[in-house]
Amino acid sequence: MRTIAFDALTLFGELNMRANLNFSRLETEKYWPETIFSMDELAWPADWEGRTILTLSMLAQATHRTPAYLDAIIDKVVIELNEDGYIGPIPPAGVTNEQSMSGHSWMVRGLIEYINWQRERDPQQAVKALRALKSIINNLFIPQTNNYANYPIDEDTRYDDPAWQLSANIDPNWKEGGQTVKPCHAPGESDCGCAFIALDGATAAYELLQDDALKPLIEAMIASYANLPREKLYVQTHATLSGLRGILRYYRSTGDASLLTLARDTFELYKTKAWTDHYANYNWFGIPSWTEPCAIVDSFIVSQELWEFTGEAAYLQDAHHIFYNAIAHAGRENGAFGTDHCTGADMDPPEGMSKHAHLGHTHPTQFASSHTYEVFWCCNMRGGDGLSRAYQYTHYTDGDSVLFPYFHSSKATLTLDSGTLTLRQKANYPASGTVHFSVENCTAGSVSLKFFAPEAWTAADQSTVTLNGNPIETSYADGFVQITAGLQADDEIVFDSPLQFFTFDSHECVNNSKQHFSFRHGPMMLGVKSKLEHAKAAEPTLSIARDAEVKPLGNAHYETTDTDGNPVHLQAMWGKENLGGPLDTFQILFAK
């Protein structure tokens, strides 16, 4: 089973709009070649630049739009390499800086995506990127193998390990030579575990280069990752999920079933211990201070790939929930991405928690609302990567079958074992479960089409399909409605699986409040949108009975009344009119 190639897909509608907004945001001054290499002020070498290269390379392929400055950024990467062949400060011999490894992982990922995109379009530029990639891998990554085998995990002594410069902010009460230099690990004071973001870069490099010298490093990383006490150390969830993407990629390369088991178990830990009620993340295990689109996008990709590997519809349902709620709300009206408060989280802060990680909101909050409106140093870029992935996930092919895990207005040319199929699709999902397809060309003869219709929110096996107005026999398995038919040009197919309105109170995360419920339309949470008068204004909390009469208005909008009899409008966070402004807030949880 494989995703559609970018060059075989043209997308229309809201996803395309959001991707182009983000594309434009990433061509503003903070991402220019003249400025980007001096933007980082927090000791994350290659991070800002690498995330930007990755996302512009992805967005260029998805939207078929040429980046204005990406080639110039690649030219500067070569110039910026230090005397040891990578970017930024050089640690003492034998010492690993985990923030440098994390940042360079994004550079590695960006260079690889750029190489894959430019290999035929502009071979000269691809060669430049390949040289920089090999320099970073050979001079920075591979030499860290022994240190990764011994990543320090003891809470009391880990900062004393001479082989590691660990991620930490500074203890302002400790001075040496007049400067604050001693790292501390109060809960929430560091991006603990960020070294394992490099699993993503290392496995991507192995996939491209097939360099066996990378295998001992990757396997040392995985062994240490598996032993990491995430809750005890308050490990960063972004690092956890990025590492999972690397583990799943290595599983694809090796077929080692233990890697899939590790990925499944770790993702389950994340969902039950660090998942907000609107399907975003706690920034750290055990500390629900804010969400982070970097991690949300990671979780979207992980859940999608777990579905690819297992065929279990529950993972694809997770991906829908993440995309149409957490990613939808984190996207801003200017194309940026920002952090939110941790909706539904109901935990006491850990003893000794850093002031840096203060919760900043009464828990449990019933709102999806902005914590930091725009996180231009990382989340803007990762958000764009997530939107690009959503393009790829629109169509899968497997032999002479086409799978539709999502529905977007589009034109797609699909390469099957027996020929090609060109389809136009008209959709308004997930507001509507009715999707129209027009066949422009088919040389494949008999084709199987599979449409995602989970029992959780659709008509499932009661869904219908017509071919040229005539009902056609369907079957149902693993969350998909399937038809098989001989198709030809001008055929019209209509898939209809009405999306359900329902109330929902199954909170997977044990650290979230059990005193609230939500209204749903399909995979989307429904809420009451309002605009605050100013940034510190109190959010207007409404009470709605879970059995209140609800009137559908169409397009996933509903009308009901609160417990005082006042009219209330319910709407989803996905929808072009709902891209968030700085003072917008959604009440999406309601007291039982």
Interval 57-84: pLDDT, tens: 999 999 999 999 999 999 999 999 999 9
Contact yes or no for 263/306 (Cβ under 8 A): yes
Q: Report the alpha-carbon distance of residue 261 to residue 255 in Å, rounded.
A: 12
3-state class of 322 per DSSP? helix
Short-list 145, 168, 325, CA closest to 236: 168
Residue 34's CB: how many other CB atoms inside 10 A?
11
Q: Is 542 found in the same domain as 479?
A: no
Residue 83's CB: how many other CB atoms inside 10 A?
7
Residue 170 lies in a domain: no
Contact yes or no for 3/392 (Cβ under 8 A): yes
Contact yes or no for 31/360 (Cβ under 8 A): no
pLDDT of residue 503: 96
Q: Is 545 found in the same domain as 527?
A: yes
Q: Is 223 found in the same domain as 131?
A: yes
What phi and psi, each to the nearest 5 degrees, are found at residue 381? -75, -45
Q: Is 553 found in the same domain as 465?
A: no
CATH of residue 407's domain is 2.60.40
Q: Is 259 found in the same domain as 236?
A: yes
What phi and psi, each to the nearest 5 degrees, are found at residue 419? 155, -155
Short-list 28, 14, 8, CA closest to 376: 28
Q: Report the alpha-carbon distance of residue 287 to residue 347 in Å, rounded.
A: 8
**C-alpha dihedral sign at 276, 279, 285, 288:** negative
Residue 310: partners with Cβ closer than 8 Å, 6 or more residues away: 260, 264
Tens of pLDDT, residues 250-281: 999 999 999 999 999 999 999 999 999 999 99
In this prediction, residue 93 has a pLDDT band, given cuts at 50, 70 and 90, of: very high
Q: Is 529 found in the same domain as 418?
A: no
Q: Report the alpha-carbon distance of residue 303 to residue 27 in Å, rounded.
A: 30
Q: Report the alpha-carbon distance of residue 535 to residue 582 in Å, rounded.
A: 8
Is the predicted pLDDT of residue 326 greater than 50, yes or no?
yes
Q: Report the alpha-carbon distance of residue 237 to residue 240 in Å, rounded.
A: 5
* pLDDT mean over 41-57: 94
- Tracing tokens 């993503």 back to the chain, one arrives at 200
Tens of pLDDT, residues 477-510: 999 999 999 999 999 999 999 999 999 987 889 9
pLDDT of residue 347: 86
Short-list 435, 418, 439, 417, CA closest to 426: 435
User: Which residue, of 449, 467, 496, is where some domain finishes?
Assistant: 496
Q: Is 507 found in the same domain as 455?
A: no
- Among 14-18, 172-176, 269-273, 584-588, the minimum mean pLDDT is found in 172-176
Q: Report the alpha-carbon distance of residue 133 to residue 512 in Å, rounded.
A: 42
What size, in residues, is the chain? 592
The count of structural domains within the chain is 3
CATH of residue 159's domain is 1.50.10.10
Higher pLDDT, residue 170 or 546: 546
* Mean pLDDT for the chain overall: 94
Q: Please compute, for residue 69, the number of CA atoms within 13 A of its CA located in the half-sphere on the CB side.
A: 19
Q: Which residues pair with 568 in a beta bridge?
A: 560
Residue type, 27: E
Residue 171 lies in a domain: no
Can you give the residue range of the structural domain that contains 476?
396-427+433-496
Residue 382 lies in a domain: yes
Q: Is 284 found in the same domain as 216?
A: yes
Q: Report the alpha-carbon distance of residue 137 to residue 107 in Å, rounded.
A: 11
Q: Is 521 found in the same domain as 556?
A: yes
pLDDT of residue 416: 97
Q: Report the alpha-carbon distance of residue 483 to residue 401 in Å, rounded.
A: 10
Q: Report the alpha-carbon distance of residue 496 to residue 458 in Å, rounded.
A: 10
Residue 225 lies in a domain: yes
Tens of pLDDT, residues 106-146: 999 999 999 999 999 999 999 999 999 999 999 999 999 99
pLDDT of residue 174: 43
Q: Is 490 found in the same domain as 580?
A: no
Residue 172 lies in a domain: no
Residue 82 lies in a domain: yes
Q: Report the alpha-carbon distance of residue 68 to residue 72 in Å, rounded.
A: 9
Residue 34 lies in a domain: yes
Residue type, 269: L
In this prediction, residue 180 has a pLDDT band, given cuts at 50, 70 and 90, of: very low
Q: Characterise 373 by phi-psi region: left (phi > 0), alpha (psi -120 to 50), beta (else).
A: alpha
Q: Which helix (H) or strand (E) holds 106?
A: helix 98-121
Residue 99's CB: how many other CB atoms inside 10 A?
24
Q: Is 557 found in the same domain as 413?
A: no
Q: Report the alpha-carbon distance of residue 265 to residue 433 in Å, rounded.
A: 32
What phi and psi, each to the nearest 5 degrees, are found at residue 496? -135, 115
- Among 22-26, 287-291, 383-387, the minimum mean pLDDT is found in 287-291
Is the predicted pLDDT of residue 185 greater than 80, yes or no?
no
Q: Is 414 found in the same domain as 520?
A: no
Q: Characterise 466 by phi-psi region: left (phi > 0), alpha (psi -120 to 50), beta (else).
A: beta
- Tracing tokens 């035929």 back to the chain, one arrives at 120
Residue 314 lies in a domain: yes
Contact yes or no for 64/102 (Cβ under 8 A): no
pLDDT of residue 362: 63
User: Which residue, of 365, 392, 419, is where some domain finishes?
Assistant: 392
User: Which residue, of 452, 478, 496, is where some domain finishes?
Assistant: 496
pLDDT of residue 371: 92
- Give Cα separations from 568 to 196, 225, 551, 580 (angstroms): 46, 47, 11, 20
